[in-house]
Amino acid sequence: MNSRLARIGVMSAVLAIVLLPIYWLVSTSLKSNREITQEGTLYPHVPTLDNYIRLFTEKQFGAYLTNSLVVTFFSVAIALVAGAMGAYAIARFRLPFAMERKVGLFLLTLRIVPPVVILIPVYLLMLKLGLLDTWLGLIATYTAFNITFCVWMMESFFREIPVDLEEAAMVDGDSRFGAFRRITLPLAAPGLAATAIFAVLVTFNEFLFALALTATPRAMTMPRGTATLIGRIDTDWASMSAAGVIGALPIVFFALLVQRHLVRGLTMGAVK
Amino acid sequence: MAKGGTQSRKYRLQGAGLDLALPYLMLAPGLLIVLGVLVYPLWDGLRASTEAYRYGSVVANVGMQNYIKLWSDPQFLNALWVTVKFVALSVTFEAILGFALALFCLREFRGIRLLRTILIIPMVITPVVVAIVFRLIYASDAGMLTAISEWMGGGQVQILGSPVKAFFGLVVLDVWEWTPLMFLILLAGLQSLPHEPFEAARVDGAGNWRVFADLTFPMMRPVLAIAIVLRTIDAFGTFDQVFVLTRGGPGEATRLVSIYGYDTAFKFQQTGYAAALFVTIGLVVLALAFSAVRLLRRVDAS
Amino acid sequence: MTQSSRSRLTRRSVLKGGLGLALATTALTAIGLPVPARAAGKKVIIGAFADGGLTPFKQKIIPLAKDAGFDIEFLEDEYGVTLEKWFADAKNSAGQYDLYLLDDPWVPQFGAANVLEDLGAAGIDGSDKDWIGSMIDMGYWPPQKGARVKGFETATPTLICVPFVGDLQTLTYRNDVYTSGAPKTWDEVIAKGKEGVAAGKIKYPVVFRGVSGNPIVTSWYPVFLSFGGSFFDDKWNPIFNSAEGKASADFFVGTMKQNAPSGVVEFDSDQEGAAILGGDAGAIIQYSGNALKADDPTQTKVAGKLDFGVVPKQTSAIAQMGIFIAGIPKSAPNKANSVEFLKWYVSADIQAKLSEAGSIPVKRSAFGIAKPGNRLIPVALQQLDAGALPRPRTPDWAKVEELLGIELNKALQAGSGGGAALDNAAKQVKDYLSSVGYY
């Protein structure tokens, strides 16, 4: 009986700690600025959707969403294809001078370096290439970052799959690449999914490089667009909180849909 | 299966003709992208770190001067100290809370699925939005804490104005956002532990604490260590949350090295100096990561 | 067998997730996409930082510009990132903007880097007597008067920016607390404010911004000026830690803090705005952004009780002037349109419209129109004539402001030691300026 009470207590505490801040965000987004700063109400007394409407009429949140979707889709897709091939090569082949292992270690090293370290030179590179404030500039950057951890995650998935199955396929007349495509890749699908989901999360949420590489709604992603409203000079709490809700909604929705694979992807690296 | 056995089988797999080139062809696309977009800039950054900038242009090559100047720059040293404090405190709290929660959830009970679902939310929400959420909590006028305090008859609650409270406010944000990740990793680790030793200990009549101290904790040590190392590396690069929550203030109380570097490069146009700063931070994190890995290996071996 | 069934399930649910994300985004995008019914015209891409001071321009002048054949793309960003974004854009000829609406202390940085168009050569007359003199002066690099930084001592001043929206600090006060009009001195501000608190009309005599960096320096600056302080000597040595300066800093972190809300250390414009508009504070020195809300009952609880006046004095009544100032990057993609737009915009005619819409104009004639858009405009002219100074014209103002802001903020937290804070800041400023070759 006692332990049941304790359980209920801990459960409610955790739920409250996680959900109250989110409640406050949503509730603030439904108030007017005057109600927010001068009345300090606990729930919206005069609920309004104006804040949301403004984001799409006066601000360019439609464009931010489109940019985010395009950039996330392409950088994850390209990184998955390139990363899966690279990971397979590292997992299965033994090259002269243990080259494949060195490549793996090298990519892991790059993954460890905090991204902010290469912010300035990446910015200068995109500038030289004329890719500032473009989808392509962001896609190139995010693809490269995604590849470093796609290779790292997928390599271990490929190692789990028995070599025998590929050999059997090759005996049946498949080429090496054919065996990879028809046998190994489908078997590694859960791993690919987990990797892809993780990549989507990281890419959709990325802010630092979006901040440096974009300047206008032509390429600004959701987090970057949201940050145009965080002003300290004249804080528009109402718009800011509505932007927070809109900015987080797609990714939270996505994460809850693919929950199971997400957890697998997040925890895999550490537990193995 | 013996290690040698696996290797020889792999050699056997490599066929003739196009298949010989296959590993290189498969490695090439990813490697080329990474070389072009990450490695070349890294090299470029090393070059920039030896240059002095004025009004946005290179004016001189100053060799190692930028690196030397860092260690007598009180603002950099302060930023480094703040970062170390922030990482150490956040990660410690996250590990303790995450571990406790994982132990608590180890036994299946009703509602645990809901709990796990809810706990995913903080870590998937865009970090920029997490910071907005916490600004809405801490703000002295529009904030949740002030609203609650006034509802209960108190006055305004001030968090972001005091250096100490703002710093802890940032730590709380990080703990809110990342304890769930710690929890999920540690829960997965706990679930993968073998059952037999625990059953044996129970049969021997060991109490909860003994089981934890003698079995659970030692067996979980590698997973715990890896989780801590991963989080530590990530926390060192924290930028978005601070940028939105405090932008390093009040004073320099929450100015992490990432924020100081960003401002140095973009706001004060000291691009070369900022590049040197970032190269230094990169090296520090790498050294940290590799020594952690080495330490783990040694613990594993013994 | 289990393997393949697991993977099929996976692909389906991943597909489901992807579809969900796509659907959600498309739905949101569909409501959000502006109808591309924009009339074709002469395109001008304007970059601005989010600030209430630009609201009249956005609401009243942009439509007029459309009627005049301009196709305005107005891109707003957060104040904290615009300087670096625009400087990078101009310096690297990225061509993302046609016109920047800068904060005036940024002009020297752009000037020193030589990245803005010569507007004099483009046909804008900087010597037109209708300009507010102190405002047009800010558009020249190097400055026509005052100290010049090393490397620009002999250069010919060039008009690289033109004033866009005038703004300067004025006093906003409660007319039921300060019943005999605007308080003339700081002593009066505090003394009568305390009476107002005792009478239960207000909670605090004053409110200001205490956040480190630009906000606290901006709030302290008019106090500093009214105590008779000067910031640099003509060799760029910091002299703000003079006796007058220290007195102003001690007054600011001591007396003013004691008579302000307890959380003033973390106040920025929104909090100080809420304090005055919400009826808690008696007086404030502020720019026009929040002042313009004083008559709007949806924005304030004390409409009708807020009046404007010249800032209080210790030895003189000098405010800080900070204007929106427009510059055209050399790399502007629609440069000709941009120049044409600026000429149109600074004409006496449109400036009168701006004044009517409620913004502080940049031409003297526009102050005198029959029906200015709000009561602040005539007061702004009084303040301009009483005294208003821009911040020092150095490309390194951002760093100077940061160093000083950190020290002032620390002293404000402590509630004492303003003078010592200025000594510390002066030393750091001197060190920094030495390291970048000032002396």
Residues in A touching C13 (Cβ below 8 Å): 193, 257-258, 260-261
Query: Does B279 lie at the interface with A, CB-CB under 8 angstroms?
Result: yes
pLDDT of residue C6: 41
HSE of B78, CA atoms in CB hemisphere, 13 A: 13
Same domain for A127 and A42, yes or no, is no
Mean pLDDT by 10 residues, chain C (439 residues): 40 53 53 49 90 85 91 87 87 88 92 92 89 92 87 90 93 94 93 94 94 88 93 93 95 95 81 87 88 81 90 91 93 93 92 90 89 88 91 90 91 92 95 87
Which chain B residues in 119-148 lie under 8 Å from chain A, judged by CB atoms?
Answer: 119-122, 124-129, 131-137, 139, 141-142, 144, 146-148
pLDDT of residue C9: 43
What gap in Å lies between CA A227 and CA B127, rounded to an integer? 11
Q: Which residue has the tokens 């690449």?
A: A177
Query: Does C269 lie at the interface with A, CB-CB under 8 angstroms?
Result: yes
Q: So where are chain C's domains?
A: 42-167+323-389, 173-321+392-435
Provide the CATH number for the domain formed by C42-167+323-389 in this structure. 3.40.190.10
Beta carbons of A93 and B10 less than 8 Å apart: yes
Q: Testing the interface with B: which of A119, A234, A245 to mutate, by most B Cβ within 10 A?
A: A119
pLDDT of residue B108: 67
Supply the pTM of this predicted model. 0.84
- The CATH number of whichever domain residue A263 belongs to comes to 1.10.3720.10
Query: In angstroms, what separates the C-alpha of B292 from chain A's closest C-alpha?
Result: 12
Interstrand relation of C70-77 and C319-320 (parallel, antiparallel or unpaired): unpaired
pLDDT of residue B17: 60
pLDDT of residue C24: 55
Quick check: is A234 in a domain?
Answer: yes
- What topology is assigned to B69-301 in CATH? MetI-like fold (1.10.3720)
Domain span holding position A150: 59-163+191-271
- For residue B142, the chain C residue with the least C-alpha distance is C271
pLDDT of residue A169: 79
Residues in C touching A32 (Cβ below 8 Å): 298
pLDDT of residue C8: 43
Which chain B residues in 213-232 lie under 8 Å from chain A, judged by CB atoms?
Answer: 223, 226-227, 230
pLDDT of residue C258: 94
Query: In angstroms, what separates the C-alpha of B138 from chain A's closest C-alpha?
Result: 11
DSSP characters over chain B: --HHHHHHHHHHH--STHHHHHHHHHHHHHHHHHIIIIIHHHHHHHHHTTEEEETTEEEEE-TTHHHHHHTT-HHHHHHHHHHHHHHHHHHHHHHHHHHHHHHHHHS--TTHHHHHHHHHHHHHS-HHHHHHHHHHHH-TTT-HHHHHHHHTT------TTSHHHHHHHHHHHHHHHHHHHHHHHHHHHHHTS-SHHHHHHHHTT--HHHHIIIIIHHHHHHHHHHHHHHHHHHHHT--HHHHHHTTT-STTTT--HHHHHHIIIIIS--HHHHHHHHHHHHHHHHHHHHHHHHHHHHHHH-
Quick check: is A54 in a domain?
Answer: no
- For residue B141, the chain A residue with the least C-alpha distance is A37
Q: Which residue has the tokens 């100096």?
A: B273
Same domain for A90 and A28, yes or no, is no
pLDDT of residue C20: 56
pLDDT of residue C31: 47
What gap in Å lies between CA A24 and CA A9, rounded to an integer? 22
Query: In angstroms, what separates the C-alpha of C33 from chain A's closest C-alpha?
Result: 5
Same domain for A17 and A85, yes or no, is no
Residues in C touching B164 (Cβ below 8 Å): none
Beta carbons of A250 and C21 less than 8 Å apart: yes
Q: Which own/partner pairs from B258-262 qualify as long-range (CB within 8 Å, at least 24 positions apart)? A: B258/A114, B258/A116, B258/B83, B259/B79, B260/B75, B260/B76, B260/B79, B261/A116, B262/A116, B262/A119
Sort residue C323 into left (φ over 0), alpha (ψ -120 to 50) or beta: beta
Residues in B touching C212 (Cβ below 8 Å): 249-252
Query: Does C32 lie at the interface with B, CB-CB under 8 angstroms?
Result: no
Same domain for A131 and A236, yes or no, is yes
What chains are in contact with B, requiring at least 3 Cβ pairs below 8 Å? A, C
Q: Which of C212, C271, C398 sits opposite B251 (nearest CB)?
A: C212
Average pLDDT over residues B6-20: 51
Quick check: is A171 in a domain?
Answer: no
Tens-digit pLDDT profile for residues B113-164: 888 888 889 989 999 999 999 998 988 777 888 888 888 887 777 788 778 8
Whole-number mean pLDDT of chain B? 84
| Number of C-beta neighbours around residue A95 at 10 A | 16
Quick check: is A151 in a domain?
Answer: yes
Dihedral angle computed from the Cα positions of residues C387, C393, C397 and C403, in that order, rounded to the nearest 10 degrees: -60
Residues in C touching B250 (Cβ below 8 Å): 211-212, 265-266, 409, 413
Same domain for A37 and A90, yes or no, is no
Same domain for A204 and A125, yes or no, is yes
Same domain for A99 and A121, yes or no, is yes
Same domain for A128 and A241, yes or no, is yes
Dihedral angle computed from the Cα positions of residues C352, C357, C363 and C367, in that order, rounded to the nearest 10 degrees: 80
Total domains in the fold of chain A: 2
Same domain for A134 and A222, yes or no, is yes
The amino acid at A51: N
Q: Which of B140, B249, B266 sits opposite C263 (nearest CB)?
A: B140
Q: Which two tokens stand for residue C322?
A: 């900070």
Provide the CATH number for the domain formed by C173-321+392-435 in this structure. 3.40.190.10
What gap in Å lies between CA B7 and CA C417, rounded to an integer? 72
Same domain for A23 and A87, yes or no, is no
Query: Does C15 lie at the interface with A, CB-CB under 8 angstroms?
Result: no
Same domain for A129 and A203, yes or no, is yes
Cα–chain center distance at C242? 27
What CA–CA distances, in Å, run from B141 to A228, B133, B137, B156, B158?
21, 14, 10, 7, 9
Q: Is it the case that residue B7 has pLDDT exceeding 50?
A: no
Same domain for A136 and A7, yes or no, is no
pLDDT in tens, chain A (272 residues): 567 788 888 888 888 999 999 998 998 888 887 787 777 778 888 888 888 888 888 888 888 999 999 999 999 999 999 998 888 888 887 777 877 888 888 888 888 888 888 888 898 888 888 888 889 999 999 999 999 888 888 888 888 888 887 788 777 777 778 888 888 888 888 888 888 888 999 999 999 999 988 888 889 999 998 888 887 666 788 888 999 999 888 889 888 888 877 777 766 655 54
Query: Does C287 lie at the interface with B, CB-CB under 8 angstroms?
Result: no
Q: B103 falls in which pLDDT band (50, 70, 90)?
A: confident
